[in-house]
Structure 1
Amino acid sequence: MSAAAPNPILAAGTVCWRRVVRSDGREQLMVLLIHRTKQRDVSFPKGKLDPGESMPQAAVRETHEETGLTVRLGANLGTIHYRMPGNGEKTVQYWAAEVTEQAVQASTFRPNKEVAALEWVPLSKARKRLSYPADREILDVFQRFADRDATETFSVILLRHAKAEPRSAMFPEDRTRPLADAGEDQAENLIAMLDSFGPKRILSSNAERCMRTVAPLAHHLRKTVRVHEGLSQEAWDAGSTDELRSIVGKVVRKGKNTIICTHRPVLPDVARELALATGSLPGDYLQEAAALPPGGFSVFHFSRTHPGAGILGVEVYPVRH
């Protein structure tokens, strides 16, 4: 009987990018490559997950550890798989990550035993500089975003409230139901994952269980939660959709990373309104993105400059305990 194949090593990374002004006054899109010391190769920032860590968390942490750059995640660029010495397999998930001038100036990078150098190169020249075919595949995905003028993106996160106390005589009004102890734990665990996507605005139903789900994150980010009755289950039960459409339309117009915390029956309507507000094609992916367990969330990515070009991608994250 043959031995069972070892579990794949999980890792995450980023394709960091920025725009710089050339000597002729024109903007140029640059991507960041790292020269690794031991391997003597050229690649993207990436690294293995720590115990209990999610892919998004690892991508942000590893990018900072290897480059000194603080980033937040943009569009998902896909996942690569390759064989390691000893017949093991490694799975690496990548995101685009815009690097601001402030992040560049604050970088603490120094050449070290892991990374010998950082190199910003024009996107058009990066492919030849990379050492591995799998990295070139990821760069090709990023190139397609660049060709569509869609590197600058914003995200809308649909978040189902964490696990709540069941309906009972203790809570005569459904909206007053608090989170269960497990739900409180979920809300705390969501902080690092959601922060990886750099939320700027937090919207919530007026139900206690929704507001309590985003409260720890809002405290961490020092943000005010914007409470809307139009995101509540009561409004949905009453067939009231005008405010919901208005909320989603405003989110798209502002083009800022936003979290929308609401209820299971409301989530499909929010997903549909996001598609309608951005001229996106309908499809089963909308239903899949809205079919979330308590504490689960989906990340929708849109072009900041051309939101009417439609949904660029959707990531779905189940509940984490």
Structure 2
Amino acid sequence: MAKQVFAAGTIPWRRVRTPSGDEELMVLLIHRRKQRDVSFPKGKLDPGESMPQAAVRETREETGLRLTLGATLGTIHYEMPGGNAKIVQYWAAEVTPKAALASTFKPNSEVQALEWVPAAAARDLLSYEADRELFDVFMRLAGPGLLDTFSVTLLRHAKAAPRDEAQPVDHLRPLTETGERQAATLVPILRSFAPRRIYSSTATRCLQTVAPLAERTKREVREHECLSQDFWEEGDLTLTRRLVGKIVTRGRSAVVCSHLPVLGDLARELMLASGSLPGEYIADAAALPPAGFSVFHFSRSRPGAGILGVESYPLKH
């Protein structure tokens, strides 16, 4: 019986200055020794690993580059020898000058060479049609200048203790042991998107959900009552809209932790703040289980271009 094999990868890119003074978009291709092909960095998920984690890890292992994920490029599907189906999720990933200088790549038994090529020439060098179709998606972002992106991650708090006689005040309910494990599991996944700021509802269960991420990234947790369920139930979302607008205007990747009833309005505010078209994708992105999250991608220079992509992750336990 055929099985599905999951993998993840990136299209690393950078801009370089030409002798004429213009900027040229370059992408990184890898030459694999065993397969004798030209492709993008990718690899299979380790047990218990998420797609974003695998994309970052595999890129580092194959190229020596430590990258964070940019815009999602979707997935490609193809049949492997033997009939198994392979599903690979990809992201664009900018290579900063600092990251390029810090690369530890050495030719090895898997990857014999790295090749930076002008984006205009890359498609013809790829060995597989699936990679060429993926590259077309990448170029649809590159053409209008939308590759330089940031993300806003809407995160539902992890599993919390019920409201009962032991804790009758809703906003003081703590995480359960399962919720604490979920909060710890979230850290390496969310770090794949390099959040610069962490926002949270003032409820204990939200603050405890983002605490491990804040500790690991050494970021301050910015508490906002307008992200709380109690505030949302009062019905006036003026402050909530103002906060979401500031997050989008600032153009820095952020994590926003809140509650299931609030997430739908937060997603809609992201849509409105970026001039995005409405659609069912907004409601779908907000329908998250405990510790689930959705990542919204925006152009840093043109946030009014709308939501470039959304990816949702119901955390597996």
Cα distance between partner residues in 2 of 1:127 and 1:169: 63
Deviation at 1:169, TM superposition (A): 1.9
Alignment partner for residue 165 of structure 1, among 153, 161, 164?
161
Alignment partner for residue 269 of structure 1, among 262, 265, 271?
265
Paired residue secondary structure (1:311): coil
Q: After alignment, is 85-94 or 283-292 more displaced?
A: 85-94
The within-5 A match list for 1:76-155 is 76-155=72-151
Aligned to 1:221: 217
Deviation at 1:203, TM superposition (A): 0.2
- Contact 1:295–1:320 at 8 Å: present in 2 too? no
Q: After alignment, is 195-204 or 81-90 more displaced?
A: 81-90
Cα distance between partner residues in 2 of 1:21 and 1:49: 36
In angstroms, what is the RMSD of aligned CA positions?
0.7
The within-5 A match list for 1:1-321 is 5-321=1-317
Paired residue secondary structure (1:11): strand
Deviation at 1:320, TM superposition (A): 2.2
- Contact 1:214–1:261 at 8 Å: present in 2 too? yes
Q: Which amino acid aligns with 1:167?
A: R
Paired residue secondary structure (2:260): coil
Identity across the alignment (%): 63
Structure 2 runs not aligned, ≥5 long: none
- Per-residue CA deviation, residues 222-250 of structure 1 (Å, 9 max, x unaligned), is 11100001101110011121110111011
Paired residue secondary structure (1:215): helix
Structure 1 runs not aligned, ≥5 long: none
**TM-score relative to the length of structure 1:** 0.98
**TM-score relative to the length of structure 2:** 0.99
Paired residue secondary structure (1:77): strand
Cα distance between partner residues in 1 of 2:66 and 2:235: 43
Q: Which amino acid aligns with 2:29?
A: L
Deviation at 1:17, TM superposition (A): 0.3
- Contact 1:230–1:244 at 8 Å: present in 2 too? yes
The number of equivalent residue pairs is: 317
Deviation at 1:263, TM superposition (A): 0.4
Which 4+ runs in 1 deviate beyond 2 A? Answer: none
Q: Which amino acid aligns with 1:114?
A: E
